[in-house]
Amino acid sequence: MAVPWRRCWRSKSGAAVLMDWCSGFSRRAFTRALLIGRESAASREMLIRQGLSYNLDKAMSVIRHRNRYLYPSQRVPCCSIHSDAKLKDPFSLVQNDLQNLYEDIKKELFVSKAELKSLCDYYFDGKGKAFRPMIVVLMARACNVHSNKEGVLLPAQRSIAMISEMIHTASLVHDDVIDDSDTRRGKHTINQVWGERKAILAGDFILSVASMALARIGNNAVVSVLSQVIEDLVRGEFMQLGSKENENERFKHYLEKTFKKTASLIANSCKAVSILVNSDPEVHEIAYQYGRNVGIAFQLVDDVLDFTSCAKHLGKPSAADLKLGLATGPVLFACQQFPELHSMIMRHFSSDGDVDRAWHYVLKSDGVAQTNYLAQRYCQEAIRQISRLRPSTERDALIRLTEMVLSRDK
């Protein structure tokens, strides 16, 4: 059997104990899911999803009695879910705030040169999920309510939502050049349509406009926090180019790379909107840790979908990571059951037949289920963190969002 999740999950002091306590989907249930699910991936997925649903309810009931230290005078159960939060999709709560998001981004990117404008507008076509802006807006509103203010979104907070989407899109443009990708979001990549040189320049231009928008906010702490994102993106890309010979260091390397390339943007954007409305470093840390844990979980699920979802759903070729020579969570877990993968990982799946063999090893192993479970643990920690804020519809929507992260299929 693959190495248990606890070898990959590292936490301090009593956090791990609390998360075990809050977890309705225990390690015993996880083992059961693996055993009866060997014959049927659907059975295994069903149990994991059921475990998540149970876990959310159980975690909320536990936190209801335990998380009072940020507002000790508050007697209202801190994790009771509003009825409308149960019914409403988190996207619907921020619909008005994000209604003209892409049009406003296009205005920021306005240039007189028609070709450059076409390149910059290419991915801002309104067909994206706007996942990052949605989290940023929900976090902003939740922090505003927590800080004894109305939940009205501040203009600077909305600007951060725009900036986060611009930084994310610029990183996609550059990633597609590095990976020589030919499809993204169901259409040809910028580098395929206009060439690599122009794609690089377009990504640089989007980043520069995002930096100018950031400077206009006029808050040095916010500038510092979001500048860290760009540094992390570069460092993460360099980490992705290498791999660790030592198997024990490999998973740590993978999770750190995942944070820098994916979760840092969400974590620091959440922290930035909290800074604008609250001076308490503990609130900043709550916002940051929620974004960090959800961001890592999001990428873990993305890595699973590379093995379990069809290319049509993903909007890009499946097994893309293997073809790029990347060993993601499912492969690293599978390596414990199939040591043959070790040599393939070290040569980045470059020999003939490596990709196909690795693909089959992963599907025969518990790698997918283990990665899904690890993502669930990160979402549990995100729930624990965000539940420390005062009750609000937006805070509960952020809790609901963790379930959406784990259950998405594209």
221-277: pLDDT as tens digits: 999 999 999 999 999 999 988 776 677 789 999 999 999 999 999 999 999 999 999
- Position 309 scores a pLDDT of 80
Distance separating alpha carbons of residues 207 and 313, to the nearest angstrom: 28
**CA nearest neighbour of 175 among 291, 250, 257:** 257
Structural domain range at position 126: 5-407
Mean pLDDT value across residues 168-196: 91
- Position 313 scores a pLDDT of 55
**Tens-place pLDDT, residues 91-147:** 889 989 998 999 999 999 988 788 998 998 898 887 777 899 999 999 999 999 999
Distance separating alpha carbons of residues 88 and 84, to the nearest angstrom: 6
- Position 246 scores a pLDDT of 73
Count the domains in the chain.
1
CATH number of the structural domain spanning residue 337: 1.10.600.10
Which residues, in sequence order, are CB contacts of 314 under 8 Å at separation 6+? 305, 306, 410
Cβ–Cβ < 8 Å for 142, 394: yes
- Position 75 scores a pLDDT of 30
Distance separating alpha carbons of residues 60 and 408, to the nearest angstrom: 22
Does residue 195 come out as left (phi exceeding 0), alpha (psi in the -120 to 50 range) or beta?
A: left
What percentage of the chain's residues is helix, strand, coil (to nearest 5)?
70, 0, 25
